[in-house]
Amino acid sequence: MPKMNMIQALNSALDIAMEKDPNVVSFGEDAGYFGGVFRVTAGLQKKYGLDRSFDTPINEAAIAAMAIGMAANGLRPVAEVQFSDYIFPAIDQIVSEMTRLRYRSAGQYTQPIVIRSPWGGGIRGGQTHSMSPEAFFTHIPGLRVVIPSNPYDAKGLLLAAIENNDPVVFFEPKRMYNGPFDGKPDGALQSWANHPKGEVPEGHYTVPLDQAEVVREGNDVTLLAYGTLVHVALSAAEKSGIDAEVIDLKTLTPYDIETITKSVKKTGRCIVSQEAPRTSGFAAELAAQIQEDCFYSLEAPIYRVTGWDTPYPHAHEWSYFPGQDRFINALKSVMEAA
Amino acid sequence: MPKMNMIQALNSALDIAMEKDPNVVSFGEDAGYFGGVFRVTAGLQKKYGLDRSFDTPINEAAIAAMAIGMAANGLRPVAEVQFSDYIFPAIDQIVSEMTRLRYRSAGQYTQPIVIRSPWGGGIRGGQTHSMSPEAFFTHIPGLRVVIPSNPYDAKGLLLAAIENNDPVVFFEPKRMYNGPFDGKPDGALQSWANHPKGEVPEGHYTVPLDQAEVVREGNDVTLLAYGTLVHVALSAAEKSGIDAEVIDLKTLTPYDIETITKSVKKTGRCIVSQEAPRTSGFAAELAAQIQEDCFYSLEAPIYRVTGWDTPYPHAHEWSYFPGQDRFINALKSVMEAA
Amino acid sequence: MATHEPRYRVPVPKYRPGDEPDFSHLKIPAAGQAKRPGVDVDGRDTIDLALGMVRVLDHNHQAVGEWNPEIKPDVLREGLRHMVLTRVYDERMLKLQRQGKMSFYMKSTGEEAVAVAGAMALKDSDMVFPSYRQQGILFARGRDIVDMMCHCISNSGDNLKGRQLPVHYTWAEGNFFSISGNLGTQFPQAVGWAMAARYKGEDQVTASWIGDGTTAEGDFHGALTLASTYHAAVILNVVNNQFAISTHQNMAIGDAPTFAMKGLGYGIASLRVDGNDFLAVYAAMQWAAERARKGHGPTYIEYFSYRADAHSTSDDPSGYRPKTEAKAWPLGDPIERLKNHLIGLGEWDDERHETLEKELNDLVVKSYKEAESHGTLHDGPLSPIPSIFEDVFEEQDWRLIRQRQDLGV
Amino acid sequence: MATHEPRYRVPVPKYRPGDEPDFSHLKIPAAGQAKRPGVDVDGRDTIDLALGMVRVLDHNHQAVGEWNPEIKPDVLREGLRHMVLTRVYDERMLKLQRQGKMSFYMKSTGEEAVAVAGAMALKDSDMVFPSYRQQGILFARGRDIVDMMCHCISNSGDNLKGRQLPVHYTWAEGNFFSISGNLGTQFPQAVGWAMAARYKGEDQVTASWIGDGTTAEGDFHGALTLASTYHAAVILNVVNNQFAISTHQNMAIGDAPTFAMKGLGYGIASLRVDGNDFLAVYAAMQWAAERARKGHGPTYIEYFSYRADAHSTSDDPSGYRPKTEAKAWPLGDPIERLKNHLIGLGEWDDERHETLEKELNDLVVKSYKEAESHGTLHDGPLSPIPSIFEDVFEEQDWRLIRQRQDLGV
Ligand SMILES: Cc1ncc(C[n+]2csc(CCOP(=O)(O)OP(=O)(O)O)c2C)c(N)n1
Ligand SMILES: Cc1ncc(C[n+]2csc(CCOP(=O)(O)OP(=O)(O)O)c2C)c(N)n1
Ligand SMILES: [Mg+2]
Ligand SMILES: [Mg+2]
């Protein structure tokens, strides 16, 4: 099976989707000729033409609005927001329009749209290239939020998102475009070439939009993660010597409550994690729902491993980023709690 | 003591703040000459002049940006967003600029800004005049989110917000501008004139920005609410016959963790509530933190009483709105749980 | 009372309640003066049209000048009928709202020509993205009045399942988009729709309408930028009815000479049109549609008009403008003007007009009775309660299923 | 390779890698042609200036025409010095970034005149809201170079406590706002600042700069709308350096003839200026500042220039434009042009220029050594770790206190 990094896997998904369905179009700032600042859309303009893969003016609201108009008229737009930090000018179009159109028109218009956006920190991007704004989007009814953690899923989830008829915000953990990251910034760079999830079929396949995956089985504690933190969580579980079950959520809304509760009922302990600031983050939603559904199985409080309630700092990135040590500490605390 | 409804109380706060500090200015769409579509700013232009209370073009982003520039230059702007449903065009200025300026300039510039906005449902406003978007704002570091539930607090909190040096989003439960609402839409309209919290001093006073209030003492279960739902929760507590302690949060970020945990540790049970859609709402944050801090005191899972994960419907508003029955059911369930 | 001079300029309208409005200062070009360029004109060369005003009906109600669309009397009568129906419908719905039959209503009084003539100059297969004051389009396109009323009273016949505020219509069959309560959002969406139409090889034209106040929104700029960049087959219309709720248009226009002038900053063909002149509106829209259909790109049009009544049922304009302003408005009433034109042509008379008004009034009254047979807002039947959980996603996820169970429906 | 005709227009630049760039199609008005109206001109009457180009230095490097600001040679030499320093500094920082000394860098090569002449034409007490390519302002205002470098390497001497990406300076003492990484956001903020200055009775002028690509953002429209409505004492500058990362300016400009023309849609006085002509930039900014100071309202200025190097250290322009384009650029290099002008005046020579370059290079090298004495990004010292919890609120709340404890610092 071919080896792909996450950029190649995403590019392959777009290529296949555009090949298969002439109504799929891709656009964004620098996403046409140049193929995107991270090169995820590279080659598509050459292959599919100027009107199927194109650059846009720098106006994220207009990008979303163009996608809305196109989708209502039968296309399947895949729009890129250059960094997820810059998605806020578009959020009104997403909250007030895209995610409500099916509802308010009682199904007369639909919105098969994917908004892709490089997401998360760990690249010394400072406060404007590091955000993890997923919680804002998980609070929006009618929106799917998807965050892959590896090339195999990235491709399968992106294809599923494009083929799905609901609007999807698809965040791409840019720290892992080229390789998994264990949360230790000083370690050697890793490559997807040596990772099982770097094996990516050339052809079409999908990964379901509503299923989480147990990526490490364990009996003592359930550790929930998505995106960049999946690998950090895994490495921490290995290092800690604690028999943790690690679940990669993949889709945040709607999240896979079954897989989650099954695990927590088994282990009796749970850690939820996110890179975003703690307060009102998505980990809070998980904790709230899990304590409700698994209350009588819980032997310890659910712990949150998160970024701090501060903007993302530049120089002290690694004091902000929830790395291995913070996960290991949490694992120890949750095991000690009783 | 004079009786005031919430509009009068807010107007009085603005009047006092502008009288006291010549750097306080107030502006927004229709908020100048006309005094706002809910008349909260009525009379201010006449009294303080065109440049202290004025209308703006219809551009919420520009309103926020103007406030940011003015505040950085020493003014204390109080900006109105006509309905909280329309705050999204301004959210980029709030997330990326207003709440980060002190941080990224290492304190060289500060942002003493209040954004006021009529908030919440229950007025047959349909999906564009009913939203409760507070959870989006509670996830933003460096932002205070305040929601009063009565005239006395409205005035005292607004004055505190204006005098505070951090940016504040101040949501006004419009269903209760003229009177408290017990969550039964068919009941007679109530007036603040007959409510103790409708007694509002004429002069200056503040209500602290970081303190919740136990508005009903009880021993069996703690019920957390803010804004419109405070009165719904209180009425439900009365009707249910359950000895519920009801806490009015008033300030969502930073929330008053002490008052909350003290109560939950006492009662051992907790219901958190919000009118907004359930997933990733502010109630999730509360539940997540409470189960962490009070785990060993909890005798039942924390229940959430919330709006549904749908846009706000128009005709079926009262099937969406978490009214008395839903609170009473939750109270019963949480008491039965064991 | 504040006595100091404002330290920056805050625009105020010329007249406030109690003042005697006098609009003689408004420079209104005479009918027939504007030149009509070919539909392939370079957008940048339309500055005279953006600063002037396309007007066809002169003070004697005669059609004059290059922009005279020379429409047949039958079509004019049809236009008159749609406009009268719009007005009659609006009046009736306002009354019903006051009686508590619906939660909210918005009239389009004084602006009927903008919607009706605009819609008639388009093909019915053209796509429209209106805002909340172009109900005239629905009449021009022949939407069933009972259906419209069922929407407004949110009953079981509401094609939107009671989910939207009254007047926020959607009618996909009629190529009528879903009206948003959020100002301006649909303007750039219309450009996306127009691009998709071309993408699919259709010659459909797309038109959208917003108000003068809404031009200040960021989405206005997004729409014009997209339209200019991608040379979209779109017509972007601004209805300058002088007010945005209580706020005069000078708050949005600032120092710009006209709203039409804003289009020139994007190199888009830009016209300013007498919005109370049925023929001028028709001619402008026809020109723009032909331009778009032939691939010459977007057109941006300002309609100079006046909001003759309150903003909505939540508004009382006597708090911010003289009651006599609408009467003093120099561009008159669009229905009167078309009626007088037809009379001048010998194609209409007062008696026929009265008969028409009566007929349409009866139609509206009768239709409302029928609409109520599908339910009322207060006593139902409404759309079934479980429908509030539908159409959120294509299929309900576990959360919605649980929530429906929680609600017990 | 896709073979079909695009179904809507997608603008592409004239030249791509491998092409031989030739800019003879660009209509560039000769120096001295533009008329200089009084600073109280009605903004609507500046259309010739918005479509033309203010240029002072002619092809013989002589200053000609009404816009010649007639600056003393000393001042010109000072400007030259600041521009050379900007360039030398940029070069050095790029090298250091390549060596891993800082995380990121952005040069302003080719655009030095815009920032330096602009800053020099303002008073130091005037407020600036720059974006990330106007570091020249800091040199013109005499900011300490070591401080600038400490910011870029995020060490203990960084006045921003390591919180911002390099080049995102803040310097309140120097009336230099905090640069945002988000495009366009500061443009309307500048208007708010300017209004507050007048509110406080100050005669301070406020200026902001964004790029050509950024004009497409909604905040651009917000800024011009506010400035026009409130008649603010603000100067809104657009640096048209032809590119927005890989995207050519024709994506933002669409069918508009010039970026300057966009200002006319708001009735704002609008100029288009040769951005590589120190004297023209100086003259335009001086005019605009006087206009603002005297209460005649805002000015909007496009600087026609060329981004002579990569967008940032994350970018390689050889992927999207010919390598030879900068050389082929018809407006030349701003430093060369001012240098030649001074030489023509007999006020400068090659030898002095070389000496200046050497002196400034030494200054930069020496300064960097000193900067590193305050720490390096990798080995520190940086600002103390607990500082990441400071300045979020005026005072830390319980969450931040707990989180600091969690981090164990
Ligand atoms: C984004 C947004 N901001 C504010 C409002 C509240 N609002 C509703 S209508 C209106 C005035 C609109 O004026 P205009 O665009 O001139 O249209 P008109 O009502 O005159 O037809 C305002 C401010 C809104 N609906 N959406
Ligand atoms: C809101 C936002 N969207 C996108 C970006 C990513 N971005 C950074 S610079 C840039 C190009 C800006 O081009 P231009 O305005 O012409 O300025 P220049 O870099 O040429 O000086 C883009 C798209 C951003 N920083 N902010
Ligand atoms: Mg209007
Ligand atoms: Mg540029």
Token pair for residue D317?
């322009």
Nearest-angstrom CA–CA distance, B34 and B46: 10
Tell me what pLDDT residue D43 has. 98
- SS3 letters across B103-169: HHCCCCCCCCCEEEEEECCCCCCHHHCCCCCHHHHHCCCCCEEECCCCHHHHHHHHHHHHHCCCCEE
Considering the domain architecture, whether residues B174 and B226 belong to the same structural domain is answered as no
**Which atom of ligand 2 is least distant from the CA of D245?**
11
Considering the domain architecture, whether residues D298 and D242 belong to the same structural domain is answered as yes
- SS3 letters across D215-266: HHCHHHHHHHHHHHHHCCCEEEEEEECCEECCEECHHHHCCCCCCCHHHHCC
Strand-pair category, A144-146 with A251-253: antiparallel
Tell me what pLDDT residue A116 has. 98
Are the C-beta atoms of residues B82 and B28 closer than 8 Å to each other? yes
Tell me what pLDDT residue B146 has. 98
Nearest-angstrom CA–CA distance, D296 and C87: 45
Percent of chain A with pLDDT over 90: 98
- Cα-based torsion angle of the residue sequence C55, C58, C62, C63 in order, rounded to the nearest 10 degrees: -20
A97 secondary structure, DSSP code: I
Q: How many domains does chain A have?
A: 2
Q: pLDDT tens across D347-404, in order?
A: 999 999 999 999 999 999 999 999 999 999 999 999 999 999 999 999 999 999 999 9
Range of the domain at B259: 213-336
3-class SS at D211? strand
User: Cβ–Cβ of D252/A58 closer than 8 Å?
Assistant: yes
- Whether the pLDDT of residue C2 is over 80: the answer is no
Provide mean pLDDT across the span A287-310.
Answer: 98
Choose the catalytic residue: B129, B195, B204, B316. B129
Residues with Cβ within 8 Å of C229's Cβ and at least 6 positions away in sequence, in order, are A56, A57, D9, D11, D251, D252, D254, D255
Residue A198, Cα to own-chain centre: how many angstroms? 17
Q: pLDDT tens across C249-300, in order?
A: 999 999 999 999 999 999 999 999 999 999 999 999 999 999 999 999 999 9
User: Cβ–Cβ of D188/B107 closer than 8 Å?
Assistant: no
User: Cβ–Cβ of B70/D394 closer than 8 Å?
Assistant: no
The verdict on whether B314 is a catalytic residue reads: no
- Whether the pLDDT of residue C1 is over 60: the answer is no
Considering the domain architecture, whether residues B174 and B237 belong to the same structural domain is answered as no
Token pair for residue D264?
């006319």
Nearest-angstrom CA–CA distance, D181 and D146: 22
Q: What is the CA radius of gyration of chain B?
A: 19
> Angle between the C334-344 and C278-293 helix axes, to the nearest 10 degrees?
100
Considering the domain architecture, whether residues C242 and C361 belong to the same structural domain is answered as yes
Considering the domain architecture, whether residues B148 and B293 belong to the same structural domain is answered as no
Residue C37 in any domain: the answer is: no
Q: Which residues in chain B land under pLDDT 50? A: none
**Rounded (5°) CA angle B65-B162-B140:** 55
Residue D264 C-alpha, separation from nearest chain A C-alpha, in angstroms: 21
Nearest-angstrom CA–CA distance, B18 and B6: 18
Q: How many domains does chain D have?
A: 2
* Chain D hits for A54, Cβ within 8 Å: 10
Considering the domain architecture, whether residues B15 and B163 belong to the same structural domain is answered as yes
Task: Put the strands of the sheet holding B270-277 in their side by side order.
Answer: B213-216, B244-248, B221-225, B270-277, B303-307
Considering the domain architecture, whether residues D246 and D198 belong to the same structural domain is answered as yes
* Chain B hits for D196, Cβ within 8 Å: 69-70, 73-75
Percent of chain C with pLDDT over 70: 99
Considering the domain architecture, whether residues B101 and B141 belong to the same structural domain is answered as yes
Strands (DSSP E) contained in D12-151 are 127-129
Are the C-beta atoms of residues C335 and C84 closer than 8 Å to each other? yes
* Chain B hits for A285, Cβ within 8 Å: 279-280, 284, 288
- In whole numbers, what is the pLDDT of chain D averaged over residues? 97
Question: Which residue in C7, C180, C216 is closest to B58 by CB distance?
Answer: C216
Q: pLDDT tens across D121-148, in order?
A: 999 999 999 999 999 999 999 999 999 9
Token pair for residue A160?
């599923």
Are the C-beta atoms of residues C10 and B54 closer than 8 Å to each other? yes
CATH number for the domain that contains residue A329: 3.40.50.920
Strands (DSSP E) contained in C62-193 are 127-129
Range of the domain at D353: 43-311+323-378
Tell me what pLDDT residue D2 has. 62
**Could you tell me the distance, in angstroms and rounded to a whole number, from the CA of residue D213 to the centre of ligand 2?**
7
Considering the domain architecture, whether residues B243 and B161 belong to the same structural domain is answered as no
The count of CB pairs under 8 A between chains A and C is 132
- Tell me which of A154, A175, A198 is where a domain ends: A198
Nearest-angstrom CA–CA distance, D119 and D54: 18
Considering the domain architecture, whether residues D361 and D401 belong to the same structural domain is answered as no
Considering the domain architecture, whether residues B191 and B232 belong to the same structural domain is answered as no
Tell me which chains share at least 3 CB pairs under 8 Å with chain D: A, B, C
Considering the domain architecture, whether residues B145 and B180 belong to the same structural domain is answered as yes
The count of CB pairs under 8 A between chains C and D is 116
Considering the domain architecture, whether residues D207 and D292 belong to the same structural domain is answered as yes
Provide mean pLDDT across the span A271-275.
Answer: 98
CATH number for the domain that contains residue D158: 3.40.50.970
Residue A206 in any domain: the answer is: no
Residues with Cβ within 8 Å of A277's Cβ and at least 6 positions away in sequence, in order, are A306, A307, A308, A309, A310, B139, B140, B141
Tell me what pLDDT residue D118 has. 98
Ligand 2 site, CB within 6 A: A 29, 58, 82, 86; D 133, 181-183, 210-214, 239, 241, 243-245, 307, 311
User: Cβ–Cβ of C192/A25 closer than 8 Å?
Assistant: no
Q: Which residue does chain C place closest to A110, by CA atoms?
A: C394
Residue C105, Cα to own-chain centre: how many angstroms? 15
Q: What is the CA radius of gyration of chain A?
A: 19
* Chain A hits for C390, Cβ within 8 Å: 107
Ligand 1 pocket: which of C245, C307, C321 to mutate (most atoms <8 Å of CB)?
C245
Chain A interface, best mutation among B280, B286, B294, by max A CB count within 10 A = B280
Residue C256 in any domain: the answer is: yes
- Reported as a pLDDT band with limits 50, 70 and 90, residue A67 is very high
3-class SS at A190? coil
Residues with Cβ within 8 Å of C124's Cβ and at least 6 positions away in sequence, in order, are C141, C174, C175
CATH number for the domain that contains residue A18: 3.40.50.970
E strand or H helix that includes residue A79: strand A76-80
Considering the domain architecture, whether residues D217 and D296 belong to the same structural domain is answered as yes
Type of residue found at A71: A
Considering the domain architecture, whether residues C55 and C169 belong to the same structural domain is answered as yes
Q: Atom 12 (ligand 1): residue with closest C-alpha? A: C244
User: Cβ–Cβ of D154/A314 closer than 8 Å?
Assistant: yes
* Chain C hits for B47, Cβ within 8 Å: 1-2
Residues with CB under 5 A from ligand 3 (ion): C 211-212, 241, 244
Residue D279 in any domain: the answer is: yes
Tell me what pLDDT residue B338 has. 75
Considering the domain architecture, whether residues D392 and D374 belong to the same structural domain is answered as no
Chain D interface, best mutation among B70, B98, B102, by max D CB count within 10 A = B70
Tell me what pLDDT residue C3 has. 65
- Tell me which of A198, A221, A242 is where a domain ends: A198
* Alpha-carbon distances, residue B169 vs B61, B94, B102, B155 (angstroms): 14, 9, 16, 15
Residue B204 in any domain: the answer is: no
Percent of chain D with pLDDT over 70: 99
Residue A292 C-alpha, separation from nearest chain C C-alpha, in angstroms: 13
- Tell me which of A149, A167, A198 is where a domain ends: A198
Residue A207 in any domain: the answer is: no
Considering the domain architecture, whether residues D139 and D117 belong to the same structural domain is answered as yes
Considering the domain architecture, whether residues A55 and A175 belong to the same structural domain is answered as yes
Are the C-beta atoms of residues C168 and C181 closer than 8 Å to each other? yes
ipTM of the prediction: 0.98
User: Cβ–Cβ of D265/C263 closer than 8 Å?
Assistant: yes
Provide mean pLDDT across the span C152-158.
Answer: 98
Considering the domain architecture, whether residues C59 and C165 belong to the same structural domain is answered as yes
Type of residue found at D195: M
User: Cβ–Cβ of A311/D218 closer than 8 Å?
Assistant: no
Q: Atom 17 (ligand 2): residue with closest C-alpha? A: D211
Residue C228 C-alpha, separation from nearest chain A C-alpha, in angstroms: 11
Token pair for residue B51?
């440049």
Residue C273 C-alpha, separation from nearest chain A C-alpha, in angstroms: 27
E strand or H helix that includes residue B244: strand B244-248
Token pair for residue C388?
């509030």
Residues with Cβ within 8 Å of A262's Cβ and at least 6 positions away in sequence, in order, are none
Tell me what pLDDT residue D152 has. 98
**Could you tell me the distance, in angstroms and rounded to a whole number, from the CA of residue A20 to the centre of ligand 4?**
36
Q: Atom 15 (ligand 2): residue with closest C-alpha? A: D211
Length of chain A (residues): 338
- Spell out a b/e string for C213-247, using b for 16 or more CB atoms within 10 Å of the CB, else e: bbbbbbbbbbbbbbbbbbbbbbbbbbbbbbbbbbb
Q: Nearest ligand, CA of residue D246?
A: 2
Question: Which residue in C8, C163, C244 is closest to B313 by CB distance?
Answer: C163
Considering the domain architecture, whether residues A221 and A313 belong to the same structural domain is answered as yes
**Could you tell me the distance, in angstroms and rounded to a whole number, from the CA of residue D137 to the centre of ligand 2?**
20
Q: Which residues lie across from D240 on neighbouring strands? A: D304
Tell me what pLDDT residue A209 has. 97
Residue C210 in any domain: the answer is: yes
Residue D218 C-alpha, separation from nearest chain B C-alpha, in angstroms: 8
Considering the domain architecture, whether residues A97 and A26 belong to the same structural domain is answered as yes
Sign of CA dihedral B187, B193, B194, B199: positive
Length of chain B (residues): 338
**Which atom of ligand 2 is least distant from the CA of D241?**
20
Provide mean pLDDT across the span A58-79.
Answer: 98
Residue B29 in any domain: the answer is: yes
Strand-pair category, B221-225 with B270-277: parallel
Provide mean pLDDT across the span D42-58.
Answer: 98
User: Cβ–Cβ of B292/A285 closer than 8 Å?
Assistant: no
Considering the domain architecture, whether residues D233 and D352 belong to the same structural domain is answered as yes
- The residue behind tokens 């993949």 is A250
Nearest-angstrom CA–CA distance, A92 and D202: 37
Q: Which residue does chain D place closest to C219, by CA atoms?
A: D218
Residue D18 in any domain: the answer is: no
Considering the domain architecture, whether residues C66 and C201 belong to the same structural domain is answered as yes
Residue C32 in any domain: the answer is: no
Are the C-beta atoms of residues B245 and B218 closer than 8 Å to each other? yes
Nearest-angstrom CA–CA distance, B150 and B227: 8
